[in-house]
Every structure is written in structure tokens, then in C-alpha cells.
Amino acid sequence: MNAIELLEQQHNEVDELFEKLEAAPKGDAEKKELFGQIADGLAVHTEIEEKIFYPSVRRKATEELLEHSVEEHLEVKKLIAAIIDLEPEETDFDSKCAELKADVQAHVAEERSQLFPKVRDLFAAADLDDLGVQMEEMARDLQSGEPLQGLAAEVHAAP
């Protein structure tokens, strides 16, 4: 699977989890479990983008677009950190999850309309495949550990 296909697959998985989260009854313990899956998925996704995908693209693409993407990642990470300690029955849980979903969807829309087309033009298919392999390996490693550890450390270090 090439790098863009992997990222799109992860986008779709998170979208499905958000739909399940929204459909779960208010205050249900399932909401906390679904949020945990979303948070882990986004932690893995942002890490492989920031450590592998963006640096590779940075060598060939505009810096401005990538800087904006990293800023959006930080906002998503801050929201995840704010939701982690909330319980599903708390008033802010659903509204913060809705805010997280909106931010993630806006970020995905920008990637799909601006970044990914540029990357497809700049990279040969074989290079995207190689990048995808590296990203899949890192994603597996992150998923086998504690994906949220790096996210929490970054949020606490952010201004």
C-alpha cells in the first residue's frame, strides 16, 4: 500500500469510529472505549505523518502547507489530551468529541484537496510505495505500544 493509500485508510477508520461514537447513547461506557480507539488511531496517524511522511514531502513540497498541517495536528492533540480524562457522562465529553471530529475532518479535507494531489505529482509511484512500507512498519510499532504517550508529552511541551 502506498503512503497516501495508508493515510486515507486511517482517515476512513477514524471516520467510522467517530460515527459509532456519535451513535452511542449519551453517557454510555462504550463512548469512552470508542474515544480511546480514536485517540490511539490519531496518535499513530499523526506520528507517522510527522516522522516519515512530512519530512519526505518537505524535501519536495512547499514548507507552508506542511507547517499548517503540523499546527493542525497540535490542535487535535490538545483536544485529545483534554478529552482523555473526561467521562462520557460529563457535559463536555460529547461537545469536545464533536469539536475533535470537526477539526479532524477539516484537516483530512485539506490533505485530500491540497497536499495529496501535490504529493502524487512530486513522487514516483515506487517512491510512494516505499514510503508506505516505512509508514506501515512505524504504525505497527506504535500500535503495539502506548500510542498516546508521545502525544501527551508533546502537548505538555507545547506553548
Total number of domains constituting the chain: 1
Q: Which of 57-71, 72-86, 113-127 has the lowest mean pLDDT?
A: 57-71
- 0.75 exceeded by pTM: yes
CATH number (domain holding residue 150) = 1.20.120.520
Name residue, grid cell 504529493. 119
pLDDT at 22 over 80: yes
- If one compares 14 and 142, the residue with the highest pLDDT of the two is 14
Per the structure block, which three cell numbers stand in for 26?
449519551
Where helices occur in 24-115 by DSSP H, the ranges are 29-48, 54-58, 63-84, 91-110
pLDDT at residue 153, rounded to an integer: 63
> pLDDT tens-digit profile of 46-74?
999 999 998 988 776 667 778 888 889 88
Summarize the confidence of residues 17-32 as an average pLDDT: 92
Question: Residue 61: which domain range?
Answer: 3-157
Residues 6+ apart with CB under 8 A from 28: 88
Nearest one of 137, 135, 31, 154 to 90, comparing CA atoms: 31
Q: With a cut of 90, say whether residue 105 has pLDDT above it.
A: yes
| Mean of all residue pLDDT scores within the chain | 88
Residue 103 has pLDDT above 90, yes or no: yes
Quickly tell me which residue has 463512548 as its cell: 31
Phi/psi region, residue 130 (left: phi>0; alpha: psi -120 to 50; beta: rest), is alpha
In this model, does residue 109 exceed pLDDT 90? yes
